Amino acid sequence: MTESRIQSSSNHNSGERVSVTITYLEQTARPVLPTPLRPAGKTAIMRAENPPVHFYRYLYRLVGDQWKWVSRRRLNDADLMAIIQDPSVYVYVLYADGAPAGFAELDNRDPDYAELKFFGLSPDFIGRGLGRFFLTNIIDLAWTLSPQALRLETCSLDHPGALPLYQKMGFRVYDRKDGVVELMD
């Protein structure tokens, strides 16, 4: 469950301010990961090419609301569309038995590294063995972009298993900082 943390100085949609610890992680080489067990049931990972803003917002809220993701909620539709429809930004949706079960966003706009901007599962699908399967596939997809490094950040608001899972998947901590998240209603 990753989310770019932004401290907002605007007063619109402002809410409670929460102190967090942000952990920055990276892989500097493609990891050798065991092939994940395929979860029970029908699963598929599909790229949403040029996703409509409303669909992206649905996925973002579906996965991120429980972890207090806010950064993309603060963007207007035009600014969000410019990001998610950029040819170097990849939005992937995990489907389980035909329903959206999770989503991931890879940002490859920086020539030096790719960033896993968002990753997570819908609350209905947590605990079904989908997280490791989905993350392994997303990491593999990220490395097909040939970055020098793959980065992500997580924070103390995210799922308690997020940081340990990222580390098991070959990510190494390269920095930690204190920050503030301004929650939205």
Number of domains in the chain: 1
Tell me if 92 is assigned to some domain.
Answer: yes
Q: Compute CA distances 92 → 13, 38, 156, whole Å.
A: 28, 17, 24
d(CA 70, CA 65): 8
What's the pLDDT tens digit per position in 77-124? Answer: 999 999 999 999 999 999 999 999 999 999 999 989 999 999 999 999
Tell me if 100 is assigned to some domain.
Answer: yes
Please give the model's pTM, rounded to 2 decimal places.
Answer: 0.89
- Write out the residue range of the structural domain in which residue 57 sits: 17-182
Q: Are strands 172-182 and 43-47 parallel, antiparallel or unpaired?
A: unpaired
pLDDT at 5: 43
Query: Read out DSSP for 68-126?
Result: T--GGGGS-HHHHHHHHTSTTEEEEEEEETTEEEEEEEEE--SSS-EEEEEEEE-GGGT
Tell me if 114 is assigned to some domain.
Answer: yes
pLDDT at 167: 96
What CATH number has the domain bearing residue 128? 3.40.630.30
Ranges of residues in the chain whose predicted pLDDT is under 70:
1-14
Tell me if 74 is assigned to some domain.
Answer: yes
